Structure 1
């Protein structure tokens, strides 16, 4: 991925993931402060001659899945977000979720 994959649309940033292991085009948005400002600063500071693909779509997918589950999302929402058809991959994110661990601890 490169800085050209980031479209600044004012109140949000649209990030295009040019290729993935599933060969499906993917994109996601970054909204709200301070997140949009952090991304804009990163794009402005990134040197032109740095090779692209230092961050893969997969690392962004894992991070966003983890954040989504930690915010309380259910399995259906997570599968839709990550594009997973089988539940087995998505279940791992829910199982490892800090929010899930807290919920279980309060029930014990």
Structure 2
């Protein structure tokens, strides 16, 4: 970030100052950036299965799409009705045209064998959409079983993971931030032994280092590695 700001604002190339770079590296030793907590597969399934649609339908739809596409809150906020197509009774095809890296992503949300069917869940939400909505954004406000014409704000998406955590009575629910859905998707994919190249495509990451930074340390994953090292089959 410092490199980009100096280059754009002051036309200074920080690479020409090796002592500054060395100083910054020394001072960053031991620094751990604060990251959002992630939701486990069991916690996600529990929320989808037990939370009432009357109170949480909007959050459920955002959670399912956010997980399946490792979406940022900005990407959910900019999603339009024409970006979601029903392929069959168990699959939605979602296109993210407006992304941070300007890389269009297309991903399926599949319901076969899952706790909820994304097609049915999204269909229930879409049918509540008023006819006089003056825009084509997917997510509109939802309260007590009814939708309004008002578009869901970007900060509301940032609060949704903490609402899920609070419903599940997880400790420190405020630490489940707007990046929770994206980090949870990356962690679940890594736990399922998804190849790094596939993970990068899922989240639209160009850098392997950045993609790996989204993966939460998993005890279950470490158990698999330990069993392999110990020769257990």
| Aligned pair partner of 2:195 in 70, 74, 89 | 74
Find runs of 4+ consecutive structure 1 residues off by over 6 angstroms: none
| Aligned pair partner of 2:150 in 50, 65, 70 | 50
| Aligned pair partner of 1:23 in 84, 102, 119 | 102
2:185 paired residue number: 64
Instruction: Say which is worse superposed, 28-37 or 62-71, in terms of deviation.
Output: 62-71
Larger Rg: 2
Aligned-partner Cα distance in 2 for 1:105–1:30: 29
Greater relative contact order, per chain length (Cα 8 Å cut-off, separation 6+): 2
Could you say if the C-alpha distance between residues 86 and 103 of structure 1 is closer, same or farther in structure 2, counting changes exceeding 3 Å?
same
Between Structure 1 and Structure 2, how many residues are aligned? 104
CA contact (8 A) 1:16 1:27 kept: yes
User: What's the C-alpha RMSD, in Å, of the aligned pairs?
Assistant: 3.2
2:220 paired residue number: 102
CA contact (8 A) 1:5 1:17 kept: yes
Post-superposition shift, 1:7?
0.9
SS at match of 2:92: strand
What TM-score results when the alignment is normalised by the length of structure 2? 0.36
What TM-score results when the alignment is normalised by the length of structure 1? 0.67
Post-superposition shift, 1:66?
3.4
Is there any run of 5+ residues in structure 2 with no aligned partner, and where? 1-78, 130-146, 159-177, 228-233
